[in-house]
């Protein structure tokens, strides 16, 4: 039986309060992709997009429950990276840690570019790259200040996203029930022209698209390492994800296809802006654009934080340079933050210098990483649960439902979604192939490091 690593922050300070962690958990699954991308999913799948979001959400709920079980049993800096290492071996910890870091540095650049496009729409005289770099600098400064500065920034950015969704849900429900001025009962729009107009496989196609919208829910298990009550924070966050997925995603998309016949829902612009316009909200498009900007900033902020903490945790096992573990007087791993943001700055520059080659590779080579991470989390939980039950069952304060069968089913579902990427469209296949390249490179690096260490040891 391995001895599982528990919380060791090594210079970090527990400055995140429970309200910070709660809002990180609430807002972590609400990204700009919900406000913008849901229209494209509805256009592709039809009203059955509700099922796509529900199935994708179910997978995330199950993975988070498995992660919650491990995180409450052995809270650790690096979260699932440590569990993978302890349960499956060094190769798994190294792989999931670097894949996760790579994913978030790519997302940071993508969100900086997305935010810049919104700002340029308001101030067209300024080049996009100026806005991109300004947003990167702003959120880098926030993360460098302190963990509490990150938490406070994320609290307010996430609050705006959550408040917008809540307002939409309330107004949307009144609208579809015919209780809003000028509205009529329109629940039947969800079955207009058939609930699954493009066939059953379109639902699977939708799952492949939406699953990446949910990625980020696991951030709370990493942020908990710098909270004053890590076990409580993780337990509450993972226990409440069911209703968050149902309300925020499934509920929102269901209302969208009830408010407007699905063929009339815009796929290029925000369907939420169109819905708020139907409610009679003044300047609905501008209001939603501002919310999308806050969503992009929120993801950028949490992406910088998450990438730096994962890099910091990787150093513990000698899988990253020694200097990334250096912290300042406020307990901030400032070198890990700068190392992570430097890749983001390079990617932002490449988005303008070489958008179709280098930037395309950076973004798409991390496309399927979320699913790789989920698969390793599933494997870690299956092994760790068996080990804990044999030696320390008292540590299992939060248990995975239906273990081991539901755990194996979750792993199978994850692999099915990965395989489905081959059959969706050319862009999705490209994401999978490039992500497999990323996976192969990281495994090759681990093999090289292991051989080198073995050689040093034998000498």
Report the residue count for the chain: 459
Cis before 404? omega within 30? yes
Each residue of 214-253: pLDDT tens digit?
Answer: 888 888 888 877 887 777 777 877 778 888 888 889 999 9
pLDDT at 4 over 70: no
What is the pLDDT at residue 7?
46
262 alpha-carbon distance from chain centroid: 27
What are the residues whose beta carbons fall under 8 Å from the beta carbon of 180, sequence distance 6 or more? 171, 174, 279
What is the pLDDT at residue 446?
95
Domains defined for the chain, CATH in brackets: 18-447 (1.20.1740.10)
pLDDT at 276 over 90: yes
pLDDT at 153 over 90: yes
What is the pLDDT at residue 335?
94
Each residue of 286-327: pLDDT tens digit?
Answer: 999 999 999 989 989 999 999 999 999 999 889 999 999 899
Look at residues 241, 294, 282 and name the one whose alpha carbon lies nearest to residue 66: 241
> How far is Cα 74 from Cα 71, in angstroms, rounded to an integer?
5
Q: Are residues 226 and 12 in contact, defined by beta-carbon separation less than 8 angstroms?
A: yes
What is the pLDDT at residue 201?
86
What is the pLDDT at residue 418?
93
Extract the tokens encoding 393: 């069952």
pLDDT at 457 over 70: no
For residue 14, CA distances in Å to 8, 156, 159 come to 11, 19, 22
What is the pLDDT at residue 456?
61
> How far is Cα 85 from Cα 197, in angstroms, rounded to an integer?
45
Can you tell me the mean pLDDT for 122-127? 91
> How far is Cα 70 from Cα 6, in angstroms, rounded to an integer?
11
Each residue of 50-73: pLDDT tens digit?
Answer: 999 999 999 999 999 999 999 888
Q: pTM of the entire structure?
A: 0.91
> How far is Cα 259 from Cα 105, in angstroms, rounded to an integer?
37
pLDDT at 76 over 80: no
Look at residues 192, 265, 257, 211 and name the one whose alpha carbon lies nearest to residue 52: 211
183-197, 265-279, 350-364, 398-412, range with the lowest pLDDT:
350-364
> How far is Cα 107 from Cα 115, in angstroms, rounded to an integer?
12
For the chain, how are helix, strand and coil distributed in percent, rounded to 5?
A: 75, 0, 25
pLDDT at 5 over 60: no
Can you tell me the mean pLDDT for 165-193? 93
pLDDT at 21 over 80: yes
Three-state secondary structure call for residue 16 = strand
Using 50, 70 and 90 to split pLDDT, how confident is the model at 10?
low
Arithmetic mean of pLDDT over the chain: 88
pLDDT at 113 over 90: no
pLDDT at 257 over 80: yes
138 C-beta neighbours (distance < 10 Å), count: 15
What is the pLDDT at residue 224?
79
Look at residues 141, 88, 75 and name the one whose alpha carbon lies nearest to residue 341: 141
């Amino acid at each position: 039986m391995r001895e599982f690593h528990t919380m060791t922050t090594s210079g970090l300070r527990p400055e995140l309060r429970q309200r910070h962690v709660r809002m990180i958990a609430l807002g972590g699954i609400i990204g700009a992709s919900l406000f913008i991308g849901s229209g494209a999913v509805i256009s592709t799948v039809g009203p059955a997009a509700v099922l796509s979001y529900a199935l994708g959400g179910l997978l995330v709920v199950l993975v988070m429950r498995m992660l919650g079980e491990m995180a409450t049993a052995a809270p650790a800096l690096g979260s699932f990276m440590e569990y993978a290492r302890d349960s499956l071996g060094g190769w798994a910890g190294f792989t999931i840690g670097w894949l996760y870091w790579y994913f978030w540095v790519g997302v940071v650049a993508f969100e900086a570019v997305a935010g810049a496009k919104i700002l340029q729409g308001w101030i067209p005289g300024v080049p996009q790259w100026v806005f991109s770099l300004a947003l990167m600098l702003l959120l880098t400064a926030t993360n460098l200040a302190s963990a509490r500065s990150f938490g406070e920034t994320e609290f307010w950015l996430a609050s705006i996203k959550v408040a917008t969704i809540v307002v939409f849900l309330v107004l949307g429900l009144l609208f579809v029930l015919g209780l809003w001025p000028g509205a009529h009962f329109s629940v039947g729009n969800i079955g207009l022209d058939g609930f699954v107009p493009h066939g059953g496989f379109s639902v699977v196609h939708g799952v492949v698209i939406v699953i990446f919208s949910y990625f980020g829910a696991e951030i709370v298990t990493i942020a908990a390492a710098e909270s004053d009550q890590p076990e409580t924070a993780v337990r509450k966050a993972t226990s409440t994800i069911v209703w968050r997925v149902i309300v925020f995603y499934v509920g929102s998309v269901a209302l969208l296809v009830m408010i407007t016949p699905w063929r009339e829902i815009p796929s290029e612009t925000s369907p939420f802006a169109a819905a708020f316009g139907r409610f009679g909200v003044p300047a609905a498009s501008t209001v939603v654009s501002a919310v999308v900007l806050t969503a992009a900033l929120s993801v950028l902020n949490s992406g910088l934080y998450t990438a730096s903490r994962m890099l910091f945790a990787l150093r513990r096992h000698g899988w990253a340079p020694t200097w990334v573990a250096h912290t300042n007087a406020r307990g901030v791993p400032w070198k890990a933050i700068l190392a992570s943001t430097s890749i983001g700055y390079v990617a932002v520059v490449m988005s303008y210098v070489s958008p179709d080659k280098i930037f395309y590779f950076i973004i798409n080579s991390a496309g399927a990483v979320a699913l790789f991470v989920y698969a390793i989390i599933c494997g870690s939980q299956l092994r760790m649960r068996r080990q804990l039950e044999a030696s320390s069952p008292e540590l299992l304060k939060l248990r995975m439902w239906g273990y081991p069968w539901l755990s194996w089913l979750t792993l199978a579902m994850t692999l099915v979604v990965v395989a489905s990427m081959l059959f969706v469209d050319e862009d999705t296949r490209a994401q999978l192939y490039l992500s497999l390249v990323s996976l192969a490179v990281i495994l090759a690096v681990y093999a090289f490091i292991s051989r080198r260490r073995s050689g040093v040891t034998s000498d």
